[in-house]
Structure 1
Amino acid sequence: MLFKPTVVQLRGVDNKLYTLAGEGNDPAAVLLQPGAKGLDAPAFTIHADEYPSIDGGFLRFARAGIREVFLPLKIIAPNRPELMKLKREFIASLNPTKGMVQLLFTEYWQPSPKEDLFEAEPTKQLTCFYVSGMEGGEGSDSDGVHWSTYGLVLRAPDPYFHALFRTHASFIRYDVLRPFIPQAGANPFLSADGTQPGEGMALSSEPEWITTQVLSSIGDAAVQPRWTIRGPLNSTFSLRLHGDDGEAVKTLRMKQSVSLTADQVLTIETARGELDVFRQAADGTGPRTPMWNHFDIASDMWALQPGDNQVSLQIDQPAGLTPEEQEAWLANNQPVVALSYLPAYLGI
């Protein structure tokens, strides 16, 4: 059976990129050896209580702790000066006093066993800091290759692997009206790979503003979204997560009226260590106005769970409006709500 090796890379605190495993290597290289550990599911701490008078017990909660990764490495070079140069550079790239390193993993799969073609899965990243293992031992082979071996130990405060690029969604719906280029045949006019029929292109209607959306979170761990709300808006509002029965189970609420023009955006960042609520021009220029005083601290900056999440936007409408006033109010309170997140995975 044909296969394509997994590409494993390490990006140091100085932004230098080392390819530890993959196709082809330089004469001087840092190579990953067999025996890597800590790259699949993280260790979980389980808290459970026993029932006092009946059999069994119940689970209170489970949490993934700091992940520890072990990488057996071998640095090789055709001569000792090159070995020392690469070794010093690699050690400097791991310096935990200067920041974190990133481990990057790219797996390949074969769409058809009958063809010698492989497609890359999205690269996953784990952010770590160096702990130990670069003490090492040196040697040389009879053919003149010099080497040093190490057992690199890294720890990841965030135990989950993340995608490199954010996934986006919005509370806007587009309805397809008609094919971009009408044609008599059943196959559309574009092809993705030049051999199979494509899906063609189509013209869409004007975007439709909606207040309820089913958001599909890829990956297999909960993720904290970044919300952006673009005006017009002049009201309090809530972002709600609903359960299977349709009832709201978690609510993120702005308790004071938020005023946004069509060229302003309110950003609510819910990621751990990056919490922020601010208003800024839609083009990202100009100062950021803190909006924490509008946020209801008793509400929840909830996470998206793996799979489908039913989410709704509720804008609080003043009572007692006449039909004309209600029409004007609705026209001035139709914000464009969007979110993005980094998909999270339990392992590579």
Structure 2
Amino acid sequence: MPIPAEFQELVDPGQDGGWTTPPYQPEHWQRTQVFIESNEGHRLHVTDRPNRHRPGYFLQSGPDGWDLPRFDLKFEESPNLDGGYFRSVRATTREMALPVYIYGSDRRGVIDLKRQLFNAMNPKNGPVRIVAREANGSTRSITAYYVSGMEGNESRETSGFTWIKYVVVVRAMEPYWTSGAPESHAWFMNPERHWFLTNKKDHLNFIPIRVSDGLISSPRNEIPVDADVETWPVWEIYGPISGEIAFTNETSGKSLTFGPSFGLASENDRIVIDTRPGIKTITKQHYKSGEWLDDSKPNWWNRLGENPQLWPLVPGMNLVSVEGQGAVGVTTRIVCTYRKRYFSYAG
């Protein structure tokens, strides 16, 4: 794993002439910790450096496919001229290799450790999450399915009476690493013409909306996305609210609108707009008995306006506006939640 270091600029010594650099000062940084989480929630620590007194798993040198994913480039060859024409590009599924060393305190111990890993990696039980945690506490994860590598090789170089080595190959359908904790921004609306902020201490960053004379107007609110690729948010709209409303990402120029038939009667009603690829749902829910339950008619696709776009947040600063007309209440609020996506497990 790389060792981060503090950057030192060149220094002009003055009368002596020439340029020199101060002594290189590496930054103290502990090694990356890696975990494998099964679909049932069991976690295996694979950077534990096992020994006779503490058996376990160890990720050896040589992991492959952990940084930039492969890309599929679409192009056409020119029939007459040199070269060709670019058409499109997409990131493919990601194949990763994990060279895992298993050490048991005795024969029964190594067999039990193997079975735990087999059960965790079994693709019929679902995918696994590979989690990388840095010394500063930040985590990134990627979801993948086991492909090969644990068929078993009993040669002298790869196994012994109390140990065995595998090169586990997995494939991720989503090629990007995601941040460990989601980020949320919430707009609270108050019809009494003043800024309204919650005093609850949690992970949300609250951004107020000014409401005046029934007009919902929140131009150019900033949502920073410190990520490598676009991220797809989940929107939650809490009542009471009625009438047309539009969510616009002014940075990308895309907009999502609801028509005049849109409305939530009370604070116990909400709409969940999930823009993530492969999901794309708009669901009405009602709060009852301490939990949010789907409404009797939960699908609200027919309430959308013309040419709706379930747009993503792009890397960098996103200028997002929420505007519309209609009645709102003290509890009316909009929450935007997302997980940042990255090319690599670190950086």
Band of TM-score, shorter chain = 0.7 to 0.9
**RMSD between aligned residues:** 3.3
Q: Does 1:238 align with 2:265?
A: no
Q: Does 1:217 align with 2:214?
A: no
Q: How far, CA to CA, are the matches of 2:141 and 2:307 in structure 1?
A: 33
1:303 to 312, 335, 341: 312
1:207 is displaced (CA, Å) by 7.1
* 1:97–1:335 CA distance, 2 compared to 1 (3 A): same
Number of residue equivalences: 293
**1:181-260 to 2 correspondences below 5 Å:** 208-209=210-211, 210-212=217-219, 213-243=221-251, 249-255=253-259, 257-260=261-264
Q: How far, CA to CA, are the matches of 2:222 and 2:153 in structure 1?
A: 55
Q: In the alignment, which residue of structure 2 is the partner of 1:72?
A: 99
Given that residues 247 and 322 in structure 2 are in contact (C-alpha distance below 8 angstroms), is that contact kept between their aligned partners in structure 1? yes
Q: In the alignment, which residue of structure 2 is the partner of 1:18?
A: 44
1:279 is displaced (CA, Å) by 1.6
* 1:205–1:314 CA distance, 2 compared to 1 (3 A): closer
**1:38-117 to 2 correspondences below 5 Å:** 38-49=65-76, 59-108=86-135
1:52 is displaced (CA, Å) by 7.3
Q: In the alignment, which residue of structure 2 is the partner of 1:276?
A: 281
Q: TM-score, normalised by structure 2?
A: 0.74
Given that residues 39 and 127 in structure 2 are in contact (C-alpha distance below 8 angstroms), is that contact kept between their aligned partners in structure 1? yes
Bigger shift: 149-158 or 73-82?
73-82
Q: In the alignment, which residue of structure 1 is the partner of 2:9?
A: none
Q: How far, CA to CA, are the matches of 1:230 and 1:36 in structure 2?
A: 45
Q: How far, CA to CA, are the matches of 2:74 and 2:64 in structure 1?
A: 25
Q: Does 1:130 align with 2:146?
A: yes
Letter in 2 for 1:215: I
Q: How far, CA to CA, are the matches of 1:124 and 1:30 in structure 2?
A: 20
1:140 is displaced (CA, Å) by 8.0
Letter in 2 for 1:86: L
Given that residues 69 and 154 in structure 1 are in contact (C-alpha distance below 8 angstroms), is that contact kept between their aligned partners in structure 2? yes
Q: How far, CA to CA, are the matches of 2:140 and 2:208 in structure 1?
A: 36
Q: In the alignment, which residue of structure 2 is the partner of 1:164?
A: 180
Letter in 2 for 1:4: Q
Given that residues 237 and 253 in structure 1 are in contact (C-alpha distance below 8 angstroms), is that contact kept between their aligned partners in structure 2? yes
Given that residues 77 and 145 in structure 1 are in contact (C-alpha distance below 8 angstroms), is that contact kept between their aligned partners in structure 2? no
Q: How far, CA to CA, are the matches of 1:81 and 1:88 in structure 2?
A: 11
1:331 is displaced (CA, Å) by 5.4
Q: In the alignment, which residue of structure 1 is the partner of 2:11?
A: none
Q: How far, CA to CA, are the matches of 1:171 and 1:285 in structure 2?
A: 20
1:255 is displaced (CA, Å) by 3.5
Q: How far, CA to CA, are the matches of 2:171 and 2:207 in structure 1?
A: 50
Letter in 2 for 1:250: K
Q: TM-score, normalised by structure 1?
A: 0.74
1:208 is displaced (CA, Å) by 4.2
Given that residues 134 and 150 in structure 1 are in contact (C-alpha distance below 8 angstroms), is that contact kept between their aligned partners in structure 2? yes
Where structure 1 has 5 or more consecutive residues not aligned to the other structure, the ranges are 109-118, 178-203, 318-328
1:273 is displaced (CA, Å) by 2.4
DSSP-derived class of the 1:293 partner? helix
DSSP-derived class of the 1:21 partner? coil
Q: How far, CA to CA, are the matches of 1:72 and 1:127 in structure 2?
A: 18
Q: In the alignment, which residue of structure 2 is the partner of 1:337?
A: 334
Q: How far, CA to CA, are the matches of 2:123 and 2:256 in structure 1?
A: 36
